[in-house]
């Protein structure tokens, strides 16, 4: 009744004023939806290269490439179209939402086919950097097959069952060690889903803040260390992740009112939000912080929207995995080291400056 009285429900394009109106065959009912999307970082997209056929960016973390789940507007493709004026965009490859780094896009179907063929023939070399706990081996190669055990939530695992899984290979090299953490270079020779993350978990060195493959329920001291995780454990983890996703979708942290939003807005500035990118990698966010951030994200709540009155979990924004460079026989695109890798001291300082060779 509230929705009808507020003019949100329409019959054949007209506001419904009579609650006793009867709907007939052929009538069209429509209503206005107040949609909430998870926030993303406001990091500007850095362009490494651009011409009439293609462009290359340094993708920020936190943003998915395509629409999926609750993300419809806050996607990389949509931001490129709406904020940067790119109408024709052809994705050549993908990066996970939490992964940052080099991403290549084609602007014509012809260039898209050319780049995709290079990837299929494995003529494009890729380098990533990641951060793991402990002293990583100087160099090691993993060539175990990978199987997707859940397409719905995206969980993959090493499999030893003959005929299952797809061939995969990643070469790892230790770049630096600070006494507690290792900065590792990863060179995937194949392009399987979550390949680097799965191979690192298999070695017993999952990425420090990987929300899937470094989840405490994996019991990695017990499993991992170059041994496949038992099928029963993988199935148990899939159920845990499904339950976790459902709880995140439905959970309400704190009921907020207009008065509390106004009060909290005065306690936090836009600069504070920008300086705390919510990567949970050393940033401690109190409940007040979360309330204040939501007040900024949603300054004018809708009285009919349940999400406007409820404070939900803010998603993780960063994972310590970065696509450092992509190269072919004819070109190379490289970014600077990400912020979480710049504090390391290297035995021999590598030339990890941003550059483009074409």
Using an 8 Å Cβ cutoff, are 333 and 104 in contact?
yes
Residue ranges with strand state E in the chain = 9-11, 14-15, 29-31, 46-50, 54-59, 90-91, 100-106, 125-133, 139-142, 146-150, 155-158, 170-177, 181-188, 254-255, 310-311, 321-327, 332-334, 355-357
325 contact partners, CB below 8 Å, separation of at least 6: 102, 125, 126, 127, 332, 333, 334, 335
Give the C-alpha separation, 266 to 290, whole Å.
14
Q: Please, are residues 166 and 199 in contact by the beta-carbon 8 Å criterion?
A: no
Dihedral of the alpha carbons of 317, 319, 320, 321, in degrees to the nearest 10: -120
CA geometry: angle 106, 187, 241, nearest 5 deg:
85
Angle between helices 287-297 and 258-265 in degrees, nearest 10: 100
Told to judge if 96 belongs to the known catalytic residues of this protein, a careful annotator would answer yes
Q: Burial level of 117, CB count in 10 A (0-12/13-18/19+)?
A: exposed
Selecting among 20, 52, 96, 289, the annotated active-site residue is 96
Q: How far apart are the C-alpha atoms of 339 and 322, rounded to whole Å? A: 10
Residue 316 has a CB neighbour count (10 Å cut-off) of: 17
Report the alpha-carbon distance of residue 133 to residue 181 in Å, rounded.
4
Strands 321-327 and 100-106 come out as parallel
d(CA 271, CA 8): 36
What positions carry a catalytic annotation?
A: 96
């Amino acid at each position: 009744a509230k929705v009808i009285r507020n003019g949100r429900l329409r019959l054949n394009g007209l506001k419904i004023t009579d609650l006793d109106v009867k709907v007939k065959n052929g009538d069209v009912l429509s209503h206005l939806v107040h949609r909430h999307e998870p926030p993303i970082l406001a990091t500007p997209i850095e362009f490494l290269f651009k011409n009439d056929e293609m462009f290359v960016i340094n993708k920020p973390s936190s943003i998915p490439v395509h629409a999926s789940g609750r993300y419809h507007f806050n996607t990389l493709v949509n931001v490129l179209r709406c904020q940067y004026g790119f109408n024709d965009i052809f994705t050549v490859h993908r990066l996970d939402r939490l992964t940052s780094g080099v991403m290549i896009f084609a602007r014509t179907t012809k260039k898209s086919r050319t780049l995709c063929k290079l990837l299929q023939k494995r003529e494009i070399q890729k380098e990533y950097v990641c951060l793991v706990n402990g002293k990583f081996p100087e160099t090691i190669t993993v060539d175990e097959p990978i199987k997707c055990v859940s397409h719905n939530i995206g969980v993959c695992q090493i499999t030893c069952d003959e005929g299952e899984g797809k061939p995969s290979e990643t070469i790892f090299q230790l770049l630096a060690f600070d006494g507690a953490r290792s900065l590792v270079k990863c060179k995937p020779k194949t392009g399987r889903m979550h390949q680097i993350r799965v191979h690192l978990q298999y070695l017993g060195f999952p990425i420090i803040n990987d929300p899937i493959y470094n989840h405490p329920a994996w019991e990695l001291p017990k499993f991992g260390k170059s041994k496949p995780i038992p099928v029963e454990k993988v199935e148990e983890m899939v159920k845990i992740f499904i339950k976790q996703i459902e709880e995140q979708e439905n959970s309400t942290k704190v009921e907020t009112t207009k008065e509390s939003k106004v009060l909290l807005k005065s306690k936090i500035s836009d600069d504070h939000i920008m300086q705390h990118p919510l990567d949970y990698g050393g940033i401690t966010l109190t409940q007040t912080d979360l309330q204040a951030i939501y007040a900024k994200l949603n300054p004018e709540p809708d009285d009919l929207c349940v999400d406007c009155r409820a404070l939900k979990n803010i998603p993780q924004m960063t994972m310590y995995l970065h696509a450092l460079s992509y190269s072919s026989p004819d070109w190379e695109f490289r970014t600077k080291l990400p912020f979480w890798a710049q504090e390391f001291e290297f035995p021999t300082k590598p030339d990890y400056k941003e550059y483009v060779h074409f």
